[in-house]
Amino acid sequence: MIYTAYLLLIARNVFLCSSQDCFKTSWSSHKLVHQKLKSDGSLTSEGLQIDWLYCLKKGQTRTPQLPHFDWTGSLRPYPISKWRVVPGTIQKPDWAIDGIPKIEPNSDLQSRVEIKTASQIERMRETCRIAREVLDAAARFIRPGVSTDEIDDVVHEATIAAGGYPSPLNYHFFPKSCCTSVNEVICHGIPDARKLEDGDIVNVDVTVYYKGVHGDLNETYFVGSVDEESQRLVRCTYECLEKAISIVKPGVRFREVGEVINRHASLSGFSVVKSYCGHGIGELFHCAPNIPHYSRNKAVGVMKAGQTFSIEPMINSGIWRDRLWPDGWTAVTSDGKRSAQFEHTLLVSDYLLYLQNLVKLYFLISA
């Protein structure tokens, strides 16, 4: 009963927190509610049932019961909280209301790689900076005992405080404002009531929509003290992304990205996920080019100055194969071993642009 009362408080608080001022003024009480919830220790699913339900499948079917599934590891889904509100003043993508993207699937940018204009690039820089700051806010919050739903709350509030919309929210009915992928979850984990435990690894994937463009990045974090094998996996995944970024320039084939990543991952004895790829991004959340992270892939085309896309390798401790939970979102390793991921949104710049940025940086430093 007590649990229920706290949860209702949270739900109301989330509703009240829909404006930046309200969020600022109610932050201390908001935090108190969260702390109360945490000090209570166990959240029984009984206590969660009124407002918190399991996500059963895409399209927002929810159930009080844990769905049946041949789980691949020790992680299980937990109930998820109610919808978080986005203030009416914030510019929203076309799926925000009914969960269905309309422009994106019908755009010719699904097959043609766009060269961004100076204005688009400028707006993407602003949006990506916000996304970076939002992810940093989430990262500061991560510790044992914090639920992934609380991380989602931080992401949601930080995004709308910056005037942005959290792109994942209601995208093809995704119920939360970011993805949180714990241990054997490869990607697209749904933030829920499960509290992070000492020794977990958790990826937080943030996308912000601001001034008509998206900025997408993610990182995997250690929760408390993590075993050596997981540390090796996370470090290797970070290096895979760094090595892939280092080859990005005009004239390089998209398929090269996968060669670089696969080489580094397999040297460490890890495998590369094949079902999820990097993607073009801009005014659309996901568009051409498709960028596989594995070797001998069939990606066509070469990089050109002005293109923007994500690189986001998912590296597995065991086998590369993935499976999908019955919620229709959560991709897990088929052997239940851990998976890590890092992501950046990139702009291919030409030499002239590179020099311009160098000059800008010089004036910025000397100012």
Which residues belong to the annotated binding site for a divalent metal cation?
205, 216, 279, 312, 343
Q: In angstroms, give the least distance from the CB of 344 to Zn ion.
A: 9
End-to-end CA separation in angstroms for the chain: 59
Per the listing, tokens 């093809």 go with 172
Q: How far is the CB of 278 from Zn ion (least distance, A)?
A: 7
List the binding residues for substrate. 188, 286
Closest to Zn ion by CB, 218 vs 349, is 218
Binding of residue 150 to Zn ion (CB under 5 A): no
The span from the CA of 49 to the CA of 67, in Å, is 14
Judged by CB under 5 A, which stretch of 23-31, 191-199, 225-233, 304-312 contacts Zn ion?
304-312
270: left (phi over 0), alpha (psi -120 to 50) or beta: beta
If binding is defined by CB under 5 A, does position 239 make contact with Zn ion?
A: no
d(CA 79, CA 184): 18
CB of 232 to Zn ion, least distance (A): 24
Burial class (CB in 10 A: 0-12, 13-18, 19+), 303: buried
Task: Read off the tokens for 72.
Answer: 């691949």
Q: Which is nearer to Zn ion, 154 or 241 (CB)?
A: 241
Which range, of 63-71, 94-102, 170-178, 302-310, touches Zn ion by CB under 5 A? 302-310
Which span (124-132, 167-175, 214-222, 245-253) binds Zn ion, by CB under 5 A?
214-222
* Cα 164 to Cα 203: distance, rounded to the nearest angstrom: 21
CA distances from 325 to 11, 83, 230, 288 (A): 26, 21, 22, 27
Among 200, 216, 219, 322, binds Zn ion (CB under 5 A): 216
Q: Please report whether residue 104 would count as binding Zn ion according to CB under 5 A.
A: no
List all residues 6 or more positions away from 287 whose beta carbon is below 8 Å from its beta carbon. Answer: 104, 107, 109, 110, 114, 279, 280, 281
User: Does 310 contact Zn ion by CB under 5 A?
Assistant: yes
The nearer residue to Zn ion, 81 or 310, going by C-beta atoms, is 310
State which residue, 150 or 216, has the beta carbon closest to Zn ion: 216
In angstroms, give the least distance from the CB of 46 to Zn ion.
37
Per CB under 5 A, residues contacting Zn ion are 216, 310
